[in-house]
Amino acid sequence: MSFIQRLAAIALTSLPFAAIAPASLAQTAETQSVRLQFQGMVGEEAFSCESTYAGLGTMESTVAVTDFRLYVSDVQLINEAGDRVPVMLEQDGVWQYEDVALLDFEDRSGTCTNGTPEIRTEVVGTVPTGTYTGIEFTLGVPFELNHNDATLAPSPLNLTSMWWNWQGGYKFVRIDLENEMMMGDVPQTQQHSPHDGHGGEHGGEHGGDHDGMAQGFLIHLGSTACQLEGDAMSPTTACGNPNTSIITFEDFDPTSDVIVADLAALVADSNLMTNEPDTALGCMSGPDDGDCLGILHNFGLSHSEQASSGQTFFRIK
């Protein structure tokens, strides 16, 4: 080897690794943590299991809330350029799995006869370092996770009380209400088997009237028109009505703003005192259930081929 060749070899071996390594190895994107805050509210009042709420729905009903939980997924922040940037969720083994997070506003005290003592009001993860001015997320569970067996699924998808069955999948939202006149009279109204509905897509959750008045109003949002093929236990193609709602706020500060889930706004167009005959109690997302019209529209979803004018359930404060 000549003197010049030896010098070239020495120079090459002394170069920093980053100078000769592929860019994908040499650079690691900086990230920042985000803790996105949510809050259950009833109008302007913070939700509490210790309270009852008056003036709800078209008949200004007084109700107690016995459950208030929901799943969100595909959470993305919007940067200054208008790009959607996925939030990489913390895999905590309890509240978040892959890109799904459970929000739980009830604590199993007071009127909240369902659920668990633990609450969860935030989504935690990381994004590339930057400035973010908006947020987008999906209310619901993605199809590829929606039709698994809840008894075998990782937390938070292992809650059978948030699951219908293999065919229907998960209850994306579970809000259970009990009418004031029923309180203490039928205290078990909202307490169903965690495996309700194995005979059909969402069967087993029908409720009767009490002297012409509905015992309560259950709001269970989930996919419908999910078809099984052959001997398959779960659908292999998308459900006819996925009922997943994309929620977008262009003006949102992830460091200070709170996303409100407003029960009063959700039920504003619904009569909570009566139940359409021969249908599930309240709204189980049935496409032919008139009690679901206002509820699904306020989730931002169409119902019976009638489009929603926009969701009202979530707002920013």
DSSP per residue over 102-120, as a string? EEE---S-TT--SS-S--B
Q: What whole-number distance in Å separates Cα of residue 250 and Cα of residue 133?
A: 7
- Can you tell me whether residue 181 is helix, strand or coil? helix
Cβ contacts of 263 within 8 Å, gap of 6 or more: 40, 41, 42, 47, 53, 56, 65, 68, 175
**Residue 10: inside a domain, yes or no?**
no
3-state DSSP percent of the chain in helix, strand and coil, to 5? 15, 35, 50
Distances (CA, A) of 180 to 12, 43, 111: 81, 18, 11
Name the residue with tokens 């210790």: 50
**Residue 4: inside a domain, yes or no?**
no
Residue 131: left if φ>0, alpha if ψ -120 to 50, beta else—which one?
beta
* Band of pLDDT at residue 201, cut at 50, 70 and 90: low
DSSP state for residue 228 in the 8-state scheme: P
Is residue 48 predicted with pLDDT exceeding 90? yes
pLDDT of residue 16: 45
Name the residue with tokens 């109003």: 217
Cβ atoms of residues 238 and 230 within 8 Å: no
Is residue 22 predicted with pLDDT exceeding 90? no
Cβ atoms of residues 231 and 195 within 8 Å: no
* Higher per-residue confidence, 254 vs 186: 254
- pLDDT (mean) for 183-196: 39
- pLDDT (mean) for 172-192: 66
pLDDT of residue 104: 98
Copy the structure tokens of residue 250.
């262009």
Number of Cβ within 10 Å of residue 147's Cβ equals 24
Alpha-carbon torsion, ordered 272, 277, 281, 285, to 10 deg: -100
* Higher per-residue confidence, 199 vs 82: 82
Query: What is the number of structural domains in the chain?
Result: 1
- pLDDT (mean) for 41-47: 98
- pLDDT (mean) for 47-65: 96
pLDDT of residue 234: 82
pLDDT of residue 232: 77
Instruction: Write down the mean pLDDT value for the chain.
Output: 85
Q: What whole-number distance in Å separates Cα of residue 191 and Cα of residue 158?
A: 18
**Residue 8: inside a domain, yes or no?**
no
Name the residue with tokens 């973010």: 132
**Residue 5: inside a domain, yes or no?**
no
Percent of the chain with pLDDT over 70: 80
For residue range 223-248, list pLDDT tens digits in order.
999 998 877 778 889 999 999 999 99
Copy the structure tokens of residue 281.
């109690």
For residue range 139-151, list pLDDT tens digits in order.
999 999 999 999 9
**Residue 23: inside a domain, yes or no?**
no
pLDDT of residue 15: 45
**Residue 40: inside a domain, yes or no?**
yes
Distances (CA, A) of 226 to 17, 130, 200, 229, 308: 54, 40, 11, 10, 22
35 CB-side CA count, 13 A: 5
pLDDT of residue 28: 44
Is residue 283 predicted with pLDDT exceeding 70? yes
Closest CA to 40 of 103, 105, 101: 105
Closest CA to 189 of 207, 169, 167: 207
Domain region containing 112: 31-316
For residue range 113-165, list pLDDT tens digits in order.
888 999 999 999 999 999 999 999 999 999 999 999 999 999 999 999 999 98
Closest CA to 284 of 159, 180, 196: 196
